Structure 1
Amino acid sequence: MRTEIEWVVQGIHEGFDGNLSIADFGRMARLSPCHMARLFHQETGLTPSGFLLAVRMEQARRKLLRSERSIADIADEVGYASLGAFTSRFTKVVGVSPGKYRRLSSLGSSIVDMVAGAETTHFTYGSVTGRTRRGDGLLREPVYLAAFPVSLNGHKATRCCRSGNSTDLWNIAHIPSGMWMVEAVSRTVGGGRYDVVVGQAGPFQIDPGSVVNVDVILTAPTKFRAVEADRAQLGLAVPNLFGC
């Protein structure tokens, strides 16, 4: 990754709780805001504001799971002056409200991942399985995958899984009936130009009890178009957030 963009990534991690602007990002990179924004997208596949959103949501998720602070306090700690704005954004990105996410966490992380609304029952689930394909040779890099509904009606939660390396068979279980997409991200080395590769498969129909087999091809993110941008932001930032 270019040094200027590393400065911005570090600045976002250190200052995510503040009121960061495009001008601030430019100062971090010592570049004009427009030039910095173009380079940041080329290097990461994300806009600076999208990466900031991902960092804030990941920090909020961790605080909800690991502390007893109020949701209002957590909203403030991750940079939101409005509790309503934080709740709305968290719900859209994660798939459930902050309060529901915290309540479900007491039942285990797998329960958090599989919740899809009060009306959803176990017999409606199917699953998606497959392998990732990549041409950069980094076959031992972990891959993060997320399935999410093409239609957000019903506020179904995103399902996620982590493949230990790119050759492993992965499986995303507990997917409700409907039309779904799969998106994937992994770290790569691209001569300093990119630090992630991304992929997408679908849409495909999930029926009760069905197992859909798909392969996801990982490529540079320049032409990647997420079906649901807010949810994709978190997934695309995962390698940076988890230090993988």
Structure 2
Amino acid sequence: MQDAVHRAIETIWSHYTEPVSLSDLADAAILSRFYFSRVFREVTGTSPGRFLSAIRLHQAKEMLRDSELGVTDISYRVGYNSPGSFTSRFTRSVGLAPTRYRARARLLESGPLPEAPTPDPRCGTVVGTVHRSGVVPLRNVYVGAFGSPIAEGRPVSWDVLGPGRPRFRLHGLPEGTWYIRVAGLDGSVPDYGAERRMLIGTCPSITVRSGRVVELDVTLRHSSIYDLPVLFALPEFDCRDLALVAGVR
């Protein structure tokens, strides 16, 4: 079934600027709509519609960093009919309005990480180890707790792991279901003209209880076509010139 989902994702990347329906993607996968939706979620962790939306916003981030197009033009180019709807969705998912995101990316400023929560006995805690498994991050590794499988919006709790620090601790998680997502950039030298690859770590959803500690092991790996892009603004991912990213403060 991965081949079917692969075909659908290739269709999303090729046609994200156009209206793309569930039927279009199911046809590309050569599956019925109902079966396709179920298989797609099993492989990617989210629905086809949310995957499409994430790709559109990811491409919008790239255009804001690397082009001089206005926000209105970009919104139409990534498939939105309303610049207002695009701006609202972008701000909610990335954590910054489009114009502010563009300014920060070009000034090499950090993303809008919230203040790390302090320990609270009424909330849960997640601790764990990020295993590098042969990959070498460019600089930092980011760990965040999100309310959905997509790393979008401000994480409810987060930690930043520098070189040589494999353990993370996420305080202040309210009771409920959370998704722990880990991201970094590959520190190996890319081929000439190639972009640095993203490193990610995912795990199934976890249930947090007040006063309890959840222990996790997460392994970093290179991202694949089945992985959702990281939408939340982070300095290593959102620097206009990645050659300078090692100097980001």
Contact 1:113/1:160 (<8 A) preserved:
no
Aligned to 1:6: 6
Aligned to 1:15: 15
CA gap of 1:161–1:56, structure 2 versus 1, over 3 A, is: farther
1:34-113 equivalences under 5 Å are: 34-109=34-109, 111-113=110-112
Query: What per-residue deviation string (whole Å, max 9, x for no partner) do you get for residues 187-231 of structure 1?
Result: xxxxxxxxx8524568699xxxxxxx9753459xxxxxxxxxxxx
How many Å separate the matches in 2 of 1:5 and 1:26?
A: 9
How many Å separate the matches in 2 of 1:43 and 1:142?
A: 26
Aligned to 1:120: none
Contact 1:146/1:161 (<8 A) preserved:
yes
CA gap of 1:93–1:21, structure 2 versus 1, over 3 A, is: same
CA gap of 1:90–1:68, structure 2 versus 1, over 3 A, is: same
Q: If the length of structure 1 is used for normalisation, what is the TM-score? A: 0.59
1:1-244 equivalences under 5 Å are: 2-109=2-109, 111-114=110-113, 116=114, 125=116, 130-132=128-130, 139-140=133-134, 145-147=142-144, 157-158=154-155, 169=166, 179=173, 183-184=180-181, 197-199=202-204, 215-218=215-218, 237-238=228-229
Contact 2:179/2:203 (<8 A) preserved:
no
CA gap of 1:7–1:70, structure 2 versus 1, over 3 A, is: same
CA gap of 1:216–1:113, structure 2 versus 1, over 3 A, is: farther
Aligned alpha-carbon RMSD (Å): 4.3
Q: Give the secondary structure class of the aligned counterpart of 2:180.
A: strand
Q: Give the secondary structure class of the aligned counterpart of 2:50.
A: helix
Q: If the length of structure 2 is used for normalisation, what is the TM-score? A: 0.58
How many Å separate the matches in 2 of 1:11 and 1:95?
A: 28
Q: Give the secondary structure class of the aligned counterpart of 2:203.
A: strand
Gaps of 5+ in 2: 119-125, 148-152, 184-200, 220-226, 231-236, 238-249
- How many residue pairs get aligned? The number is 187
Specify the code of the residue in structure 2 equivalent to 1:112: G
Contact 1:182/1:202 (<8 A) preserved:
no
Percent identity between the two aligned chains: 26
How many Å separate the matches in 1 of 2:58 and 2:158?
A: 14
Q: Higher helix proportion, which one?
A: 1
Q: Give the secondary structure class of the aligned counterpart of 1:131.
A: strand
Q: Give the secondary structure class of the aligned counterpart of 1:5.
A: helix
Specify the code of the residue in structure 1 equivalent to 2:33: P
Deviation at 1:55, TM superposition (A): 0.8
Contact 2:5/2:43 (<8 A) preserved:
yes
CA gap of 1:218–1:15, structure 2 versus 1, over 3 A, is: same
Gaps of 5+ in 1: 117-123, 151-155, 187-195, 206-212, 220-235
Contact 2:64/2:98 (<8 A) preserved:
yes
Deviation at 1:106, TM superposition (A): 2.9
How many Å separate the matches in 1 of 2:165 and 2:5?
A: 31
